[in-house]
Amino acid sequence: MDKSILLARGQQQHRDTDEVPIGYIGAVTVRGLTRAEVRQYTEKDGTADENGMIACALVDPEMTADEVGQWLDGAPAGDSVAVMDAIARLSGFDEGAQKSRVPRHGKRRRR
């Protein structure tokens, strides 16, 4: 394999997205995160900044971490679980996460 193909992957936008139903009001669209994005929102103690990860992965609607916090503070707990599960699956860390340093879910932090 030509290494330029591997290096070019980081330049491409993620094509895989998923619509996540949010109760009876509709759905949000999320994409997978890159390894660098996951690391950006992971604390040294291994916990994840869930609001940051969700904000980064949201395609529609686009939201900041603060806006995600406002949404999730007033939402059923299942909203964040469903969205994080979709992000984990699209990012490739839903299976075997316990063997890696990538957190499955973490704390929600306001930014």
Assigned domain for 60 exists: yes
- Among 107, 110, 111, smallest CA distance to 50 is for 107
79 part of a folded domain:
yes
Residue 88 structural domain? 31-111
- Is residue 78 in some structural domain? yes
Its pTM stands at 0.74
User: What are the pLDDT digits (tens) for 17-75?
Assistant: 889 999 888 999 999 998 889 889 887 777 888 999 999 999 999 999 999 999 999 99
Note whether residue 40 is domain-resident. Answer: yes
Q: Quote the DSSP letter at residue 98.
A: G
Quick check: is 18 in a domain? Answer: no
Q: At residue 70, what is the residue type?
A: Q
Cβ–Cβ < 8 Å for 22, 29? no
Q: How many domains is the chain partitioned into structurally?
A: 1
Classify residue 49: in a domain, yes or no. yes
